[in-house]
Structure 1
Amino acid sequence: MLEIKNVSKSFGDKKILDNVSHSFPMGKITVILGPSGGGKTTLLRCISGLESFDKGQLLLGGEDLTNKSHQANSGKIGVVFQDFQLFPHLNVLENIILAPTMVLKKSKEEATEKARSMLGLLGLSDKEEAYPFELSGGQKQRVAIARALAMEPRVLCYDEPTSALDPGLSGDVAEVILNLKSPNVTQIVVTHDPIFAEKIADKTIRVEPIK
C-alpha cells in the first residue's frame, strides 16, 4: 500500500496542500478528482518525486520514499504525463526500451521482448517502428503507458490522461486503465472529469482549492 501522511506543499505564499493524508490500496485504481487549482497534479507530482514536500511522509509498503527524486523512485513509481513526453527522434520501440536498458540495466533483447508484449496488450503491435509524429493522440497515450509499465513500477500515476485527447477517446482510455488492473500495481489517476472517474475508480479522493 502507498500512503501519504500529513503532506503540505506551498509555492511561495500560496498553500496548495495542507496536512493531507491518504492511502492508495495495492491492486486498486484511486482517482484524485477535483477542479483546476485544487492541488491534484501537485499531489501526484509529490507522490512521484517530481516535487518535494514541505512536510509530511510518503511510504510504499512501509518503505520511506519521502522527498526521494523521481529518478530514484523510477523503478517503483511510474508516471504517464499529460503531454505524453515521448522522444520525437526515437520510434515507439526505442521510446519504450530506453529507460529499462539505461536505468534497470536490462539487456536490449530482454527489454525489447517485454516492450513487444506490452505493445500487443495495448493494441500497438503494428506501431513499434512508427515515430511519435505518425501517431494519433490515443496511440501516443498508449505508448506513454507502455513506456511507464516497462519500468515495472509498483505504482502507476496518470496526470489528466484524457485532457489532451478528443472527447470521444475517454472511454478507450478508461478501458485501457481497467485492463491494466493487477494485484501488484497501484494505479493513481488525476482527473477533473467526474464521468471518466466514475468509470474507473475503486476509490475516489476529492480535492478542492484552499481558500
Structure 2
Amino acid sequence: MAHVVLVSGIPRAGKSSFCDAIEAAREGFTHVPLDRYVRPVPAATHFLNWIASPNCIAWDHLRSHLAILESGEPCYSPRPAWEGGWRSWISAGGAIADGPGRRMEPACRAYLVAGTHAFAFAAMPRPMRVFVHTPGEVIAERLTGTRVDPATAERVISRGLAPNTAAVRQDVHAADLVIDGTAHRSTQVREFLAAFTEFFAPSAPAP
C-alpha cells in the first residue's frame, strides 16, 4: 500500500510545481492536485470565500479516487469549470477511458495530495506533512507578475487570495518537513526524498 504525503502552503507558494518535480523524478510518487477537487461554488457565493474553508473540498470523492489508484488502475481527477467561475464540474473524473482532468497513475511509494487544505485530509495511517514556505514578497510578485515592494506584499496578498491565508501559514507548525519554495527544484526533490525515507523508515523492533 502506498503512503500519503500532504503538501500545504499558501497559493502561489509552489506546491504544484514541487509535486510535479517529484513525480517527474520517477521515484514512485503521484501528484494528486487538491484544487481539482474543489466542489462547485454555490450561487451567490464569492469564489475566494468559498475556497477559504476545507469544506469546499469533495473529500469523499478524493478518497474514492485514491481507492481506484490503490487498486492498480489509473484515474482521472475532476475538471472544474474554471472558465465559468468554478460553478460546476466539466467532469467528475474517475476510472474512465479518457477525460479532461489530470490523469493520475498508481503510485508505488506515495500519493502527494497538494493544496491549501491538504492538512485537513483525515488520511490513515498517519501521513507525512510537508509545508512549502515562500516569502510574502515572492507570492505577491507571482500574483501580479511584477516587482513588489516587500512593505506592500501583504496588502497585495490580502487582495488577491482567499481570507484564510494566515490560517494556512500556521500549518508550518504541524509540518514534518518545511521546503523552501524558492529553492531549486532539484534541491527540493533531494531534501524531500531524504526526509520521506526517514519518515517512513520501519521502526526498530523492541528489545
Structure (1/2) with the larger strand percentage = 1
Identify the TM-score tier after normalising by the shorter chain. Answer: 0.3 to 0.5
Structure (1/2) with the larger helix percentage = 2
TM value normalised by structure 1: 0.33
